Amino acid sequence: MQNKSLYFTVSLVAIMGLMAISMQGNFDTVFAQGDKVAVSIVNGSSTMSENGYDPDPVQVTIGQTVVWTNDDVAFHTVTSGLPGDPDAGAQFDSGLEGPTALTGQGKTYEHTFDTAGEFDYHCALHPALVGKIIVT
């Protein structure tokens, strides 16, 4: 009888331990989602000079990742700097080719901001399309 209740107690502690571990896992997931900030390249942005990247500007904290999704039918880029800057694309660039190129609807590109500052960016294919990320 005593053995049986000891077995029950040990089992209960083990189950509670597993529950605590799985809840910890859930918290980690929530934090991971909180570290990503979504920006849409909106439908029709090829002919837009503001709010083509939406929202804009975007404020994030150091270490957060911005994920751009191309919700337009046209090909766009997320290229650091302003159009014509000699160092455009030096900080980050989804590019005109390769796996990160935002060639069409549903394509995503992400960049993690590790330093504070204001980061202008634009579309290399539509120079009127500009945005800004503010990192604090």
**Binding-site ranges for Cu ion (CB under 5 A):** 76, 123, 125-126
Pick the closer one to Cu ion by CB: 38 or 64: 38
Whole-angstrom distance, CA of residue 88 vs CA of residue 65: 20
Nearest distance in Å: CB 32, Cu ion: 29
Nearest distance in Å: CB 39, Cu ion: 14
Beta-carbon neighbour count of residue 32 at 10 Å?
10
Pick the closer one to Cu ion by CB: 60 or 123: 123
Pick the closer one to Cu ion by CB: 23 or 73: 73
Closest-CA residue to 42 (of 105, 112, 98, 93):
105
Nearest distance in Å: CB 89, Cu ion: 14
Q: Any long-range contacts for 115-118 (C-beta under 8 Å, 24+ apart)?
A: 115/62, 116/62
Pick the closer one to Cu ion by CB: 38 or 128: 128
> H-helix or E-strand containing 25?
helix 2-34
Whole-angstrom distance, CA of residue 83 vs CA of residue 92: 14
